Structures are given as C-alpha cells and as structure tokens.
Amino acid sequence: MEKDHWAGQCYSLDHGTHGENELMTQLALISVYDTATPEKHMYERFLFDLLKNRKPWESVSHKKMPTYDEHVNFVRSKPYKKWYIIDYKGPVGAIYLTNNNEIGIFIERHEQKRGFGSKSLDMLIEDSPDVEYFYANIGAFNSRSLAFFCMKGFIYDNQSYEDEKLLQYTYRFKNPAFVLPIPNRSSVD
C-alpha cells in the first residue's frame, strides 16, 4: 500500500505543564501489579473507567468494551511488562509497557495538558535501561497522540492497515539510557 501522507510528519501541539518542580517531586508511578488489596480494587476500577471513557479513535488495542469482570481478569493476568497508575495527589492516568516494548498512555480528560503524560513517559523510559527501542502505536485519527510522541522524539516506523483501511501508525524511540547487558563471566570461562 502507498504510504499515507501524514506518515512521518510531526507538528507542534502545546501539552502544557503544571509546574515542573512540583511534578518532579509529587508525580509517582504506582505499579498496578504490586499494590495491596484495597488499592488494587480502586486501581482496577480506575483503569476500567479510563478505558470506558476513551473515544474509539483513541484506542488501537481493543475493539469492544469488556465487562468489568473481564477487565479485572485481564489486569490480574499481568499482560504487560510494566503497568503503572500515574499518581499526582490521586490517580490521573495510566502508562504501560508491553512485552514488545510498546508504550500506552492515557490521562483523564480533565487532567490532560498538564504535563502528566510527558513526565510519566520520561520516568518509564528512565526506569527501563534494558529496552533499546520503545514503540508507540497510534490510532490513525489520533492527532494529539501523534503530536505528543513526535514532541517526545519518537520517529515514524511504519503503518498498519485492516481491510485496506489505515488502522494505526507506529513510531519508535531509541532509549538514550539503553545499556547493553554484560555477559556473565562465569558462563564465558
């Protein structure tokens, strides 16, 4: 198929900040997998509500809204390498890293454009020195996410189609903190 005319193009979009110093000290990534039972239930509900509130063009990973029980079973199956609640005086969003090093971020609508997505992405990348490349799969009509990932230094990689209809763009980012694993000396000797 012919490359779409938007592929590889980045443009500026103001994502705002909420006082960088305050974000530095108060924003936290809380593992969805390592939380105590009362918080686990609260976070499962929060993640379900985030998913429920997405617009169809914002999601490429699911076609149909699961039931709450299906969602809880999915969360508890630990499907991602890392999955965090983005917390700033309470949950404001979520970020995950798949086993294929694909990043997903979603921030509650009323909390968007405050720098939470940008800072949480920086934190995830910094916490992943074993990942050489990160990928972002972006819905074909999700121009805000496209602009966000371009602003963060991601570059066009490819695009996917379903039934000859453009489904998504994939952008990649080379991790500046990537560290090659050091071979175990005892296995070499």
10: pLDDT strictly greater than 60? no
Chain centroid offset of residue 169 CA:
14
**pLDDT of amino acid 37:** 67
More confident residue, 4 or 144: 144
Residue among 5, 18, 143, 29 nearest 80 (CA): 29
pLDDT in tens, 115-129: 999 999 999 999 999
Please identify which residue in the block is written with the tokens 């005086």.
89
Above pLDDT 90, what percent of the chain?
A: 65
| pLDDT per residue as tens digits for the range 37-93 | 678 889 999 999 999 988 876 777 767 899 999 999 999 999 999 999 999 999 999
pLDDT band at residue 2 under the 50/70/90 scheme: very low
Give the residue, 3 or 137, on which the prediction is more confident.
Answer: 137
Alpha helices in 27-103 (DSSP H): 37-52, 68-76
Cβ(69)–Cβ(45) under 8 Å?
no
DSSP 8-state class, residue 102: B
The per-residue pLDDT for range 91-107, each reduced to its tens digit, is 999 999 999 999 999 99
183, pLDDT greater than 80: no
Considering only residues 179 and 98, tell me which one the structure prediction assigns the higher pLDDT. 98
Q: How many CB atoms lie within 10 A of CB 64?
A: 5
Section 152-173 average pLDDT: 94
